[in-house]
Amino acid sequence: MRFILLLCLLALVAGCSHAPLHEKDYQRWWCERHGGELEHRLQDKTRVDCLTKEYAVEVEYAPKWAESIGQALYYAQSTGRKPAVLLIVRDKDDERFLKRLRTVAKEQGIKVWTVRPKDLE
């Protein structure tokens, strides 16, 4: 009986070993791979999520796609870099937000990348 209880406990712990991902996790993962500076601080104390040699990148969850546009444009203007958004797409429902972002980004000259939870595995 104790052996079965121990196996159940181990299975429960193993199933919970993956902590939920946060925006910072995606930001750090992407920025490190692109040689960027995390949380670059501007004079007005706002922070660019990732500043690379070419881009000022805003990292945002898909439902906040519209906010990401304004932030990317502002950070680009403030740093002299090109605007970019790394959109966090967590599930199929988020695809509609990606489509909206890409429509506006194309018109505004904003580079768009995506990241999904499976990318960080």
Per-residue pLDDT of 28-55, as tens digits, reads 999 999 999 999 999 999 999 999 999 9
Buried b (16+ CB within 10 A) or exposed e, 61-74: bbebbeebbebbbb
Indicate whether 89 belongs to any domain: yes
Give the Cα separation of 110 and 57 in Å (integer).
10
Domain that holds residue 29: 20-120
Q: What is the CATH number of the domain that holds 81?
A: 3.40.1350
Q: Could you tell me if 49 and 55 are in contact, meaning their C-beta atoms sit under 8 angstroms apart?
A: no
Which residues are CB-neighbours of 102 under 8 A, at least 6 positions away? 112
State if pTM tops 0.75: yes
- pLDDT tens string 77-99: 999 999 999 999 999 999 999 99
Indicate whether 1 belongs to any domain: no
Of residues 22, 24, 43, the one with CA closest to residue 32: 24
